[in-house]
């Protein structure tokens, strides 16, 4: 029987554990142990139920376009629980001088693909509109080096686009800044489109026409989630795993290679050190944020540990506020708003949850979920919940004139939870991969590598299993 240690019980580690459980049930000679440092499994996937409302502390959904999370949900019996975002109400605003300005129709991520809505939008200055028109004629350009998202967007559309769209969109997804994040790692399609078409606008239009030609049936919702909240995924996964194999409140300090001559009885493999105990495994999947992985691997391979430690993480704070029916009627339609840095506020974005996922609030309730923190405001973690609440309420008053007392409020702090793929991330990944290959039986999973979203993390966990099983001959 081969033994695999999975370190980290977030969605990446649980996806790995479920993949191993499936193999075990189908007769593969393998068993696993999940080590999770906190008392609960699930990592940042946490759902609370308050006053009839479903409150997401971490992720509230995942991109439908990336199939791995929904596929996993179907495998664990949650197919009927999958819901889509309410895209008929999909409207996003940008805060400009304390007012909400709607994003014009036809913007794909930040690339305009429809002329008239963009021309008539009050969001952009005439100068930026002229840049957009000129962008249509950009010649193909194959970049020799990685660059920041800000540099690329600036080249195509100018600095206003960076401030109004690139930065707020990226802080929504990564908690990061356009001036630091790598185009190749974060928006690889943009780099490919620029190389092939030059103009991002023409490239997006071509992609949309192609997609429309092959698409069958009604358009899929942009986001998917689960009726009763994202934690359903964690609960269903945990219910399908071997309870004896799940070690919570078990932090791993180190993993080290064991060679034949050191452990005569166990053969080659890995020692996993957790507290005062050391256990032997044939393979190890580390599914923690990369700084934790770096600390564990320090003695096994200092170079690998250094590269892992160099991947930075940003922190995030979400605040969910519940309101009554009267407030619900007074709030704008749409999914919510993004706050550009030039507005000088601490809030990065807010979601009108009752519009985006109507299942999450009874009809007489509104939920406004606000995001703070990110790379530009780590200090927010030092503030108390009461101070954060005050900031959010002051800013909501300034932006959408929301003065009502909330029926409930919840503040969730996520320290160093969001990986920041900075310029050179892909080269760093290549180095990490070549060093990892020199350590047989080791695999890495999680949001620090090739995608921060829940679907990417699910895929990373499953891929890590394929990787280690091939290495230990199963």
Ligand X SMILES: Cc1cc2nc3c(=O)[nH]c(=O)nc-3n(C[C@H](O)[C@H](O)[C@H](O)COP(=O)(O)OP(=O)(O)OC[C@H]3O[C@@H](n4cnc5c(N)ncnc54)[C@H](O)[C@@H]3O)c2cc1C
For residue 336, state whether it binds ligand X (rule: CB under 6 A). Answer: no
For residue 288, state whether it binds ligand X (rule: CB under 6 A). Answer: yes
**How far is 348 from 197, CA to CA, in rounded Å?**
32
For residue 53, state whether it binds ligand X (rule: CB under 6 A). Answer: no
Rounded CA Rg of the chain: 23
The region of 141-149, 283-291, 362-370, 383-391 touching ligand X under the rule CB under 6 A is 283-291
Q: Residue 111: which of 135, 141, 130 has the closest Cα?
A: 135
Residue linked to tokens 């075990």: 24
Ranges within 82-121 binding ligand X (CB under 6 A): none
Q: Estimate to the nearest angstrom the gap between the alpha carbon of 451 and the chain centroid.
A: 7
Count of residues for the chain?
474
Cβ distance to ligand X smaller for residue 204 or 452: 452
For residue 61, state whether it binds ligand X (rule: CB under 6 A). Answer: yes
The region of 84-92, 202-210, 414-422, 424-432 touching ligand X under the rule CB under 6 A is 414-422
For residue 414, state whether it binds ligand X (rule: CB under 6 A). Answer: yes
Among 13, 229, 374, 406, binds ligand X (CB under 6 A): 13
Among 59, 198, 229, 314, binds ligand X (CB under 6 A): 59
For residue 43, state whether it binds ligand X (rule: CB under 6 A). Answer: yes
Q: How far is the CB of 294 from ligand X (least distance, A)?
A: 11
Q: Exposure pattern of 129-151 as b/e (b: 16+ CB <10 Å)?
A: bebbeebeebeeeeeeebbbbbe
**How far is 282 from 390, CA to CA, in rounded Å?**
51
For residue 457, state whether it binds ligand X (rule: CB under 6 A). Answer: yes
Strand order in the sheet with 92-96: 99-102, 92-96, 336-338, 347-352, 365-373, 312-324, 408-420
For residue 172, state whether it binds ligand X (rule: CB under 6 A). Answer: no
For residue 7, state whether it binds ligand X (rule: CB under 6 A). Answer: yes
Q: How far is the CB of 449 from ligand X (least distance, A)?
A: 9
User: Can you spell out the DSSP letters for 25-60?
Assistant: HTT-SEEEEEE-SSSSSSTT--EEEETTEEEESS--
List Cα–Cα distances, 278 to 5, 69, 281, in angstroms.
Answer: 12, 33, 10
Cβ distance to ligand X smaller for residue 46 or 161: 46
**How far is 78 from 232, CA to CA, in rounded Å?**
8
Among 6, 10, 186, 360, binds ligand X (CB under 6 A): 10
For residue 168, state whether it binds ligand X (rule: CB under 6 A). Answer: no
For residue 453, state whether it binds ligand X (rule: CB under 6 A). Answer: yes
Q: 282 — phi, psi (to 5°)?
A: -80, -30
Residue 388 tokens, joined? 């954060």
Residue linked to tokens 């794909």: 108
Q: How far is the CB of 223 from ligand X (least distance, A)?
A: 8
For residue 308, state whether it binds ligand X (rule: CB under 6 A). Answer: no
Cβ distance to ligand X smaller for residue 131 or 436: 436
Cβ distance to ligand X smaller for residue 9 or 198: 9
For residue 17, state whether it binds ligand X (rule: CB under 6 A). Answer: no
Helical spans, DSSP H, in 142-247: 149-157, 159-161, 167-174, 183-186, 188-197, 200-214, 231-240
For residue 252, state whether it binds ligand X (rule: CB under 6 A). Answer: yes
Among 44, 339, 444, 469, binds ligand X (CB under 6 A): 44
The region of 32-40, 141-149, 382-390, 395-403 touching ligand X under the rule CB under 6 A is 32-40
Among 128, 182, 231, 316, binds ligand X (CB under 6 A): 316
Query: Hey, is 101 helix, strand or coil?
Result: strand
For residue 60, state whether it binds ligand X (rule: CB under 6 A). Answer: yes
For residue 418, state whether it binds ligand X (rule: CB under 6 A). Answer: yes
Among 78, 200, 246, 417, binds ligand X (CB under 6 A): 417
Site track 428-447 with ligand X (rule: CB under 6 A), x = hit = ------------------xx
Query: Hey, is 229 helix, strand or coil?
Result: coil
| 96, 82 Cβ separation under 8 angstroms | no
Q: How far is the CB of 104 from ligand X (least distance, A)?
A: 24
**How far is 391 from 136, CA to CA, in rounded Å?**
41
Q: How far is the CB of 417 from ligand X (least distance, A)?
A: 4
**How far is 198 from 192, CA to CA, in rounded Å?**
9
For residue 320, state whether it binds ligand X (rule: CB under 6 A). Answer: no
Give, in degrees to the nearest 5, the angle at Cα 438 between 435 and 443.
75
Q: Which residues bind ligand X (CB under 6 A)?
A: 7-13, 35-38, 43-45, 58-62, 251-252, 287-289, 292, 316, 318, 414, 417-418, 446-447, 452-454, 457
């Amino acid at each position: 029987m081969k033994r695999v240690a999975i370190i980290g019980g977030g969605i990446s580690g649980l996806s790995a554990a479920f993949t191993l459980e499936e193999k075990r049930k189908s007769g593969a000679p393998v068993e696993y142990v999940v080590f999770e440092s906190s008392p609960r499994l699930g990592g940042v996937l946490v759902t609370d139920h308050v006053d009839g409302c479903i409150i997401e502390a971490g992720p509230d959904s995942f991109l439908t376009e990336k199939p791995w999370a929904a596929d996993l949900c179907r495998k664990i019996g949650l197919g009927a629980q999958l819901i889509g975002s309410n895209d008929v109400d999909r409207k996003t605003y940008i805060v400009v001088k304390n007012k909400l300005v709607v994003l014009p129709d036809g913007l794909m991520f930040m690339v305009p693909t429809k002329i008239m809505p963009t021309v008539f939008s009050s969001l952009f200055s005439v100068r930026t509109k002229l840049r957009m028109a000129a962008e249509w004629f950009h010649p193909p350009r194959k970049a020799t080096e990685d660059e920041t998202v800000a540099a690329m967007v600036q080249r195509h559309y100018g600095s206003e686009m960076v401030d109004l769209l690139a930065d707020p969109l990226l802080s929504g997804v990564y908690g990061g800044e356009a001036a630091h994040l790598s185009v190749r790692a974060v928006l690889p399609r943009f780099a490919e489109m620029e190389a092939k078409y030059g103009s991002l606008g023409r490239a997006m239009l071509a992609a949309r026409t192609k997609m429309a030609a092959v698409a069958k049936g009604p358009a899929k919702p942009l986001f998917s989630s689960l009726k009763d909240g994202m934690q359903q995924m964690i609960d269903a996964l945990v219910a399908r795993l071997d309870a004896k194999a799940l070690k919570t409140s078990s932090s791993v300090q180190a993993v080290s290679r064991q060679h034949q001559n050191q452990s005569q009885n166990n053969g080659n493999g890995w020692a996993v050190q957790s507290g005062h105990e050391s256990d032997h495994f044939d393979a190890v999947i580390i599914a923690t944020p990369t700084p934790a992985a770096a600390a564990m691997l320090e003695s096994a391979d200092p170079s690998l540990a250094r590269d892992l430690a160099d991947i930075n993480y940003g922190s995030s704070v979400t605040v969910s506020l519940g309101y009554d029916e009267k407030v619900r009627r007074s709030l704008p339609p749409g999914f919510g708003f993004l706050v550009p840095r030039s507005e000088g506020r601490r809030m990065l974005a807010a979601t009108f949850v009752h519009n985006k996922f109507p299942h999450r609030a009874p009809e007489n309730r509104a939920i406004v979920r606000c995001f703070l923190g990110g790379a530009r405001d780590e200090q927010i973690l030092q503030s108390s919940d009461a101070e954060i609440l005050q900031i959010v309420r002051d800013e909501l008053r300034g932006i959408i004139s929301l003065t009502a007392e909330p029926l409930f409020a919840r503040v969730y702090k996520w320290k160093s939870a969001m990986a920041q793929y900075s310029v050179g991330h892909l080269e760093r990944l290549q180095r990490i991969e070549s060093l990892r290959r020199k350590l047989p039986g080791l695999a890495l999973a999680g949001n620090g590598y090739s995608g921060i979203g829940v679907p990417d993390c699910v895929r990373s966990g499953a891929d890590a299993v394929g990787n280690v099983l091939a290495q230990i001959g199963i």
